[in-house]
Chain A
């Protein structure tokens, strides 16, 4: 990087500067120790010497070129902005459909469906365990009839739809396909993503149904089926988001996510697939947290590590297999119930870090999410935040504008090294599935969460409005009110569906599904047949529960 003579000069100058700094520090000591979440203590300034032997081609290269540190496309946001995709869903399919169409009218460019917990755990709305949960954290979908209403008047060949669904992902995907078919849309024209990432459910999000190995089979079945039938669908969104929300550090977020990704790739290869058959459709989902530069470096490091892993470890040849494409959501756990309007600023900075980190799509959280489900007005503000970043402030005018920054490149290298250290450790344990089964990952996350909480409580970590700059007597803001009759109406519709369908067809399709689950056939065609016969989500998952059993949680504390 620098000629010898030049380096000598630099070193000398730096030494002289350090002397000055020392004197300055005697007079004006620093406010505190400056460290990252991942515990790296930061230098007061970074310089050319920190990038000694920095190989531009190896570490950065140009956008759209291996190892994609600077972005996966050559044009990035100069060509097209990221997809603005607000996660939404509550109450009934009708209410959510209305919110979707409102968001599309406001300039949102993709849909993201939030399902309620019974749907996510494979229970129908009238199941005893669904008590109080129907339509709460998302929309209730019991059968194809609900999905038809959810997507009513939304042209599925023109929007891309992301569905946050994991254990029953195959069922919801089948419902979506069935609706598209009814709209007359060819299967190669539907675009979207299913989250379908079961491993992080065991450690961080909790909506598991089946044990890990059976879940992995379903996931690999989806990879194989989608590869042939819905070629542009993202078959999985391997998610660090929830791992981070559960309390991990930035490094752990990337490390555990990529370890999970490795497990999926290995499972698919083991099932006989060629890596380049399915890897181009793998996508990722990360958190944009509060430490601005650490987050930017995190996204860049994640891209570089993934490209390297796919190329060197799995021998992928297709460039698309090497590109880490990701969705980002701002950090819900950083939102405060106190002075909720301050959350607007938190979200804006977090969102900017995701854009500077090269995200493909983005959800910005709403200011009132520590209080309730977001109101329409709050969601609009959150969407407008993205539009300001995209259109007003020039952040998108050049690709990877922070590339080459002494600090950012150092951080990117640091995060990369730490992540690789964790991946090695998990490999030693025997892979992500083992590391989850023995509670290693859960314990690591918990320890970080506890440390974070301690730092907040000791005010070592400042949270504005919580442990500093607090106010009393806050003005309440208008919150979303849920219609208490939703649950009842949903249960009634479910009953109607059960009464009006062809029972023989339903029973037969469920019987066929059971046989397939007991054997080794790809489950997707059987699920699709059952869905089209209006078998309910609970019935389909019930058959699979029977055959596969249920996961018993590892309690680590």
Chain B
């Protein structure tokens, strides 16, 4: 891993306003030495990808608790692919049923963290990816 800190985009995708988890994770990543860009609420898949490319991040963390993950997450992965940016890893946090997790991972999501996940696990997962 390079000496440069990892750059991570933390975003709330869709219309869901529950940002406690996103903010806690963003703060924990920052405390772990990463550079965090937090988008705030109501981001579309297009906006997420645009910001990620502009900000030159290595990781996108998407938080969603509204149940719209099946419609909103795959387009992000897809658009990254179209922009030859599949090296940006996408992790998801939220209320995601088991079978949906399997599907999202098939689509190219690196990991899904459900309620009760610890920020320590999230940080070590991301760090491992860039070892």
Binding site for B on A (CB under 8 A): 117-118, 120-121, 128-133, 136-137, 201, 204-207, 245-247, 333, 335-338, 369-373, 446, 449-450, 453, 456-457, 463, 466, 476, 479, 482, 553, 555, 557
Contact = CB atoms under 8 A, between A and B. Distances in A.
A449 B28 CA distance: 12
24 contacts: A120-B15, A131-B68, A132-B14, A133-B15, A133-B67, A136-B66, A204-B17, A206-B19, A206-B41, A246-B18, A246-B19, A247-B20, A247-B24, A335-B115, A337-B115, A369-B95, A370-B114, A370-B115, A372-B97, A446-B27, A450-B24, A450-B28, A553-B42, A557-B27
Interface in B47-96: 66-72, 95
B16 to A, nearest CB: 6
A369 B97 CA distance: 11
B66 A117 contact: yes
A136 B15 CA distance: 11
B66 A370 contact: no
Contacts of B18: 205-206, 245-246
Contact of B116 (A131, A337, A557): A337
B99 to A, nearest CB: 9
B119 A372 contact: no
Nearest to B44: A129
Given A201-B17, A457-B118, A557 B44 contact: no
A406 to B, nearest CB: 35
Nearest to A135: B67
Contact of B16 (A206, A338, A450, A555): A206
A453 B120 CA distance: 11
B68 A557 contact: no
Interface string B26-41: 1110000000101011
* Overall SS of chain B's interface: loop
Most buried by A among B15, B44, B114: B15
B24 A129 contact: no
A555 B97 contact: no
Contact of A466 (B27, B44, B116): B116
A373 B42 CA distance: 21
A557 B38 contact: yes
B16 A117 contact: yes
Nearest to A447: B27
B17 A207 contact: yes
A370 B95 CA distance: 6
Given A372-B67, A457-B118, A553-B41, 15 more contacts: A121-B15, A129-B15, A131-B71, A132-B14, A133-B67, A204-B17, A205-B17, A337-B116, A338-B116, A371-B95, A371-B97, A450-B24, A450-B27, A453-B119, A557-B26
B102 to A, nearest CB: 12
B70 to A, nearest CB: 7
